[in-house]
Amino acid sequence: MDRQAYIELLLDHYEHPRNRGRLENPDVQMSWGNPGCGDVVTLYLKISADGRITEIAFEGEGCTVSQASASILTEHVKGQTLSYAQNLSPDDVAAWVGREVMMSRPRCALLALSALKLALQEYRASSPTASG
């Protein structure tokens, strides 16, 4: 995609976020934020016995990049295994939101990924039999 296509994608996810809202009775939830700019994301995950993220949702507030990135992340993670989610990297996020956006606003673009990694860490710590 070119720069304009990434901008349009981000604006679409910001204006029409996917998987936005609170999940009732999640298996794990995690809030994470950027104190410097005020962006906050809370992720909610439901995880199946075989280690798949069956449902994922987010709530939050902040800039277009942080909120759109959270929406995009949920689309990529829903239905995937815990191992897949754990192995996601900043390069994956850059591929989804555009390298230029990633380079200009890395903290904002990676906010949801950071929340996801912390949520998975908490889930594994509280569920020793969690498969991945």
Provide the CATH number for the domain around residue 40. Answer: 3.90.1010.10
Q: What value does the CA radius of gyration of the chain take, rounded to a whole number of Å?
A: 14
pLDDT digits (tens, 9 = 90+) for 113-131: 999 999 999 999 998 665 5
Domain assignment present for residue 131? The answer is: no
**Domain of 8, in residue numbers:** 3-125
Q: Indicate the pLDDT class of residue 36, thresholds 50, 70 and 90.
A: confident
> What domain count does the chain have?
1
Report if residue 130 sits inside a domain.
Answer: no
20 located within any domain: yes
Q: Which of 112, 127, 129 is nearest to 41 (CA)?
A: 112
* Residues ≥6 apart with Cβ < 8 Å to 70: 17, 41, 43, 58, 60, 111, 112, 115
Task: Kindly report the number of other CB atoms within 10 A of residue 40's CB atom.
Answer: 18
pTM for this prediction? 0.93
What average pLDDT does the segment 54-74 reach?
Answer: 97
Residue 132 located in a structural domain: no
Q: What is the mean pLDDT of the chain?
A: 94
Q: Can you give the pLDDT at residue 35?
A: 78
Q: For residue 31, give the 3-state DSSP assignment.
A: strand
Assess contact for 88 and 113: CB atoms under 8 A: yes
Tell me if 18 is assigned to some domain. Answer: yes
Q: Using the 8-state DSSP alphabet, how is residue 113 labeled?
A: H
* Residue 18 DSSP one-character state: S
